[in-house]
A and B are shown apart, each in its own frame.
Chain A
């Protein structure tokens, strides 16, 4: 049972480049989430999805795009990376409604030079 996986685990890119972070879950969970974690801020919600083809903005969506064509995948794209997007990104999912326990992936550490 693979659970929830993220790829790549580490990524270095340059300012202005497009970057896509992948998230895949094997549970068929309805809800999926993208967070970024920065020192002193805890986790901040970027985007979330209640089901395939349903996505919505979180607290810090600017500069990010998401899609969810399949229930199990929830990619996050940085259309034109900026240094302020250097962070650790976590994907999570919940079994039922969004009030349930969240299951987190291992994270992707992204550095934008």
Chain B
């Protein structure tokens, strides 16, 4: 079964609005990462948050992590049309030899 599940599956907002995407996971993690994928392209790393961190910022991105609820959220502030993409969370279990597990993604559309 998938470790990470993004919510919502699709999100449509107007330019300038904030976009919030959520990721829930089932087991403990070493870290959690968010990636963006533009149509027809590979994934691009956005931000990494470790299990002992609660919040991280990078430009217009804000990521929170609640390990007690096994959930993370990605907030994009003041969205732009160029933010239109799919966003994936990837969780890394703490056990050696494990690998990232990606969720199915949230498709974000930012309308001009």
A35 contact set on B, CB distance < 8 A: 102
A75 contact set on B, CB distance < 8 A: none
Interface of A is mostly: strand
Contact with B along A25-42 (1 / 0, CB 8 A): 000000001010000111
Is there contact, CB below 8 Å, between B104 and A105? no
Instruction: Output the least CB separation between B42 and chain A (Å).
Output: 4
Is there contact, CB below 8 Å, between A58 and B99? yes
B4 contact set on A, CB distance < 8 A: 42
Give the interface segment out of B10-18, B43-51, B52-60, B74-82: B43-51
Is there contact, CB below 8 Å, between A105 and B42? yes
Q: Assess whether B41 is interfacial by the CB under 8 Å rule.
A: yes
How many interface residues does A have (CB within 8 Å)?
Answer: 22
Q: A107 with B41: in contact, given A99-B30, A101-B33 (CB under 8 Å)?
A: yes
Is there contact, CB below 8 Å, between B43 and A43? yes
Is there contact, CB below 8 Å, between A33 and B42? no
Given contacts A40-B104, A42-B103, A105-B42, 6 further A-B contacts (CB under 8 A): A41-B104, A42-B104, A101-B48, A104-B44, A107-B40, A107-B41
B contacts, CB < 8 Å to A = 2, 4, 30-31, 33, 35, 40-45, 48, 88, 90, 92, 98-105
